[in-house]
Amino acid sequence: MKKTIRLSKIFFDNYPKESENLVNILNKHNISYEILENTKDIWTRDFMPICLDDGTLVSYIYEPNYLQNNKYKDIKTKIIYEKNHMNLIIDGGNFVRYKNKAIMTDKIFKENPSKTKAEIIEIIKSKCDLKDLIIIPKQPYDTFGHSDSMVQWINENSVLINDFSLESKTFNDKLLKTLQKHHLNIQAMKYTNSFFTKNRNWGAYLNFVKIENVLIVPIYGIKEDILALEQLQNIYKNCIIEPIKFNSIIKEGGALHCVSSEKIGI
């Protein structure tokens, strides 16, 4: 089964340099990609269906609270409902999966107030064939409430998180405690004291894409990139690390994982 990366045509139109560099990396490693013509924005992760390991596509209701204002109606992509559909309001950036485990922030509960927490968890586990669904606290100031800016899987028993202790020790401890309850080994991406600023209020390095043994990592074009890439190489020892400068997109609140989605086929 071969994985194909799906990207919005708007990404190519609005960010020609970044899209060209990404395509060069994909071609270099013989990774196929598909350009989606009828999207309303570049964030394909949020509205495209979730792709399971067997190629099954799982759709959901794409009505996030941050797009409810009428001024956003022209940038909200109408999704395609798959045969396997969840009757829940979800955006794909809040779903980080490894095999039969996934991590989401507790924003999923706020988005679906008519259902109990237990009902929401059971629907997602059933539709996405999960053994464990881990619900972590969302960052207090994060409008989107996405888990893919907070955590990535290393393997089925280990996760990599941003070290949020520089911002809030209370929040960081709460996040660690939640992950530890699920018996996960935790590694943290360390930053210098000057890293988190108004223009870098989240760590985009974790918003990478991993395709087999290739890790494509968004970078800012700053000194901190070197520290981050060294850490990622030490953690993902068997992977080829491909950095891609993405600072113009990071400023919009997302990075590489956000602008891409996957499908699997023969």
16-55 burial by CB neighbour count: b if 16+ within 10 A, else e? eebbebbbebbeeeebeeeeeeebebbbbbbbbbbbbeee
Q: What is the pLDDT of residue 181?
A: 97
For residue 213, the enclosing domain spans 2-265
Could you tell me if 264 and 6 are in contact, meaning their C-beta atoms sit under 8 angstroms apart?
A: no
Q: State the 10-residue block means of pLDDT for the chain, 266 residues long.
A: 93 98 98 95 96 95 86 76 93 96 97 97 98 95 90 97 86 96 96 78 89 96 95 97 96 94 85
Domains: count for the chain: 1
CATH number of the domain where residue 65 is located: 3.75.10.10
Q: Which of 1, 19, 31, 43 minimizes the C-alpha distance to 258?
A: 43
Which residue's entry shows tokens 């969840």? 86
- DSSP letter at 91? -
| Residue 154 to residue 167: CA distance in whole angstroms | 24
pLDDT at 6: 97
Write down the pLDDT at residue 194. 82
